[in-house]
Structure 1
Amino acid sequence: MARFDFENPIFQAEEEDDEDCELPEELARLLKQEERVIQPHQEFVEVINLGTEDAKREIKIGAALEDNVKKGLIELLQEYIDIFAWSYQDMPGLDTDIVVHRLPLKEGCPPVKQKLRRTRPEMAVKIKEEVQKQLDA
């Protein structure tokens, strides 16, 4: 059986000096950095239509650009407008092994007809167009 000598303590703490309590500079810097909350960078942007009013082709550019730089950028984008893909029809070479639109359905479960949901007339037209795009694709 082990016997303990409680009269003579095994460890005695030395008095703490202020120098011993200081954090290393690198650790203090990391702690300060940890406390900071990182906010996403939000730059003000301006929407520019490169197309017509009927066929809009909108892009966003920085609103803080100087006028001459902004004008030059818009002219450059308009010059090369034909190389941008504005719709799925503009991308005929898309590999369907990479990009495919599917509905994740369980096998053996029959589809259930749901109650018709009423939408605003202007939204109904847009929905019909999107459905037609999916059917044509």
Structure 2
Amino acid sequence: MEPLLKQRRTNQDIFFSKEDARGVRQPHKDPLVIALTMEGFNTKRILVDNGSSADIMYLLTFQQLKLDPGRLRPFDSPLVSFSGDRIYPKGIVTLKVTIGAYPKQQTHHLDFLVVNCPSSYNVIIGRPTLNRWKAATSTYCLKIKFLTEDGVGAVKGDQVLARECYQAMLAAGENHTWTIEGEKEDNMEALETVELVEGETSKVTRIGTTLSTEMRNKLVHFLKGNLDVFAWSHEDMPGIPRQVIQHELKTDPEKKLIQQRQRVFAPKQNRAITDEVNRLL
């Protein structure tokens, strides 16, 4: 009977109720920040981020846990943030991590990319580990739940610490949603360029390559029949009333305008600035 009992428990549904939100100050927009046991140490300031495709540990945390640098394995792909910042990890390390309290807990050996950059958090738990835990998160309740052999386990977020970390993150302009370069492109559909006006290579658009032949022909015919909605240049958008949208610089007409002196950067910084401007253009 015991194996059946365990099987029945592991098939429990995960759900959140009003009781789960008890003690959470509402309304809020706080992130989910929890504590985990990592390599035997109670580690706080761990951000649970469903948008991150990687599990991250910051180098300072790696050093504070007194982990042997020899445990780091090479990792060649850079990480890219939502804002386009790119950073190469120091390596990848496998750590023993426990979530929850006995008996409703899970223990796994998880892989973390060790990153050397400032952070208000110690660790970021992304989708790889959330999927490994078979976990569900509620930002409203600030709680994470997961399946164990003894039922549904849960860990409550620390709202006070979450607000402190979030304010520090905004003040420092930190990035915390990382993607391994190449993953995003691999998941995107390839596109083909379609010329909407014959002989005018500037008037083109792009459509997906997985469409059926019939659907592709219908879509191209529809796009060509509605050329008037495309704006190929600013001259194609005349007559927008100022009450709809208008851009202006708010300056005090009574104050004298001051031109700032030209700033000089080192050659390495100049190259980085030029590369970023070209990328944005």
Q: Which structure has the highest helix share of the two?
A: 1
Q: Which structure has the highest strand share of the two?
A: 2
Q: Given the two structures, how large is their TM-score scaled by the length of structure 2?
A: 0.25
Larger Rg: 1
The one of the two structures with greater contact order (alpha-carbon pairs below 8 A, sep at least 6) is 2
